[in-house]
Structure formats: structure tokens, C-alpha cells
Amino acid sequence: MVNIESIEAFTDNYIWLVTTNEGSIVIDPGESSNVINHIDKNQLDLKAIFITHHHLDHTGGVDEITSYYPVDVFGPNNNIETISKRLRDGDKINIIGIEFQIIEIPGHTLDHIAYYSKNNGNPILFCGDTLFAAGCGRVFEGTFEQMHESLLKLKNLPNNTKIYCGHEYTLSNLEFAKEAEPFNQNILSRYNEVIKLREKGIPSLPSLLSTELKTNPFLRCDSKEVQENISTKFNTLKETKEIFKALRLWKDNF
């Protein structure tokens, strides 16, 4: 059985902890103390650390964690010396009885990767800061075209894929989604649901890809309503790449 827990960090980061009867994996530990305390308290057997990209809020705790637990650190082919196993698109790794496939998804950063597992028909995706619940990451190092292509890769995964991203941005993302697609009742319903969850202190994650396909404007650039709204608002072409770029630039200043 696969158990996935969130460990909160900073103001809105999620560090993910995946555990089976063969051990545990920590994903994107931006800080170390909560992770170490949780592992010790629950007497877990840490087997590996996964990194999706180089930003410090996803890597800042790696050195201290590995000083306590000398495990392999898997990550993209970048300049982080702590990474001991460097991964590229299409690589497959088997840890704690789970086979993960690596998907390169540049855009937010050039080195960004995701970890995807079919997980015996219950697929899971750890996608860092590329795909968020109801949104996507800023384009910092890559191009808008790269980010759009990366999202298309994730969009084509099975609809029942559970999405574990790096931040609790869902409510603010849905506020933007309501503006991007104001007549989408799925967005309005999801917005009200997430308000109730957050009022109770419950994470809005994981999300389902099927939910994202109905409510995430960045995955809906081929939607007629999104295209009409964005092309009129910003006087842009209705091509999906142009719609995506206009959406992302709008969200940057929303």
C-alpha cells in the first residue's frame, strides 16, 4: 500500500512523503526540521530524496537531511552537487516498490522534471512548480512555448492521475480562473469547495487531472470560451500557444 503525506514548509510549500512497506521517499524538501522530526517520530526508513527543480524552497533541506540519513538524492541534470542520481526524460527508477517514469517539463526552470508512476492503476504525479491545482508555474527560465508544451505532456496522462504539486496556491488560482472563464460552473463549484477546505485547514491537494481538465485555464487553451475571452481581452490570435502566453502574462500581474 502506498501512503502519501504532506509536510508543510514556509507559508505555502508542500513537501511530499511517500511511504510503502519498503521505506519512504521525501520529495522537494525545501526545509529539513519538519521532515527529520516526522521521520524520527514515525520511525520511518528513508530510502531516497526526489528533487523536481533547483529552486531553494524545494532543495534547501537536502543537505541537512542527508547528514542524518545518507540516502541517494535523485534529481534533474543540473549543478546541485548533492544530487547523486541525475535523471533525464524517459528514465525509469524503482524505489520502495514503486516504478517512476521521468518526464522533463521545462518552463518554470530549464531543469524541471516530474516523477510519474502508474501505481497499479492509481497513477500519481509529483510535478513541483509546473502544474498547480487550477494553475501553472511562472515562466522564469524557459519560454512560454516550452511551458505550454510541458503542460501538454502532463495533460495527456490518464484522467485519474493524482497531482501532487509544490504549493498551496489553489484558491488564488481559482480566483484567476473565474476571470479567465467566468461562465464555467465547474470553476465556481470548485472555488466554493476549496474555500471550505482551507477554512478547516485541510490541504486542497492532491488534485485529479480530470478536475484540472475542467477547471484549470492553462489546460483549457483549446476551450472556445477561453479563446474568445482571452483573444478579445488582449487582441491576440486564438491559437493555443498564443492564448497560453496571454493567460500566463495576465496571471503574472493578476
Alpha-carbon distance 26 to 71, whole Å? Answer: 11
Does residue 83 carry a pLDDT above 90? yes
* SS3 state of residue 45: coil
* 117 band by pLDDT with thresholds 50, 70 and 90: very high
The residues spanned by each domain of the chain are 3-252
- Please tell me what DSSP assigns to residue 60: T
* 86 band by pLDDT with thresholds 50, 70 and 90: very high
Distances (CA, A) of 194 to 73, 104, 128, 201, 208: 34, 30, 20, 10, 14
In one-letter notation, the amino acid at residue 47 is K
pLDDT on residue 236: 86
Q: pTM value?
A: 0.97
Residue (of 144, 121, 136, 127) closest to 177 by Cα position: 136
CB–CB of 156/227 below 8 Å?
no
Residue (of 62, 39, 60) closest to 49 by Cα position: 62
CATH of domain 3-252: 3.60.15.10
What is the rounded end-to-end Cα distance, in angstroms, of the chain?
41
Does residue 238 carry a pLDDT above 90? no
Element housing 40 (H / E):
helix 33-41
Query: What percent of the chain clears pLDDT 90, i.e. is strictly above it?
Result: 96
Does residue 242 carry a pLDDT above 90? yes
In one-letter notation, the amino acid at residue 111 is D
The secondary structure of 150-203 as a DSSP string is: HHHHHHTS-TT-EEEESB--HHHHHHHHHHHSTT-HHHHHHHHHHHHHHHTT--
Q: Average the pLDDT over 54-59 and give the result.
A: 97
Helices (H), 85-169: 144-155
Q: Are strands 207-208 and 162-165 parallel, antiparallel or unpaired?
A: antiparallel
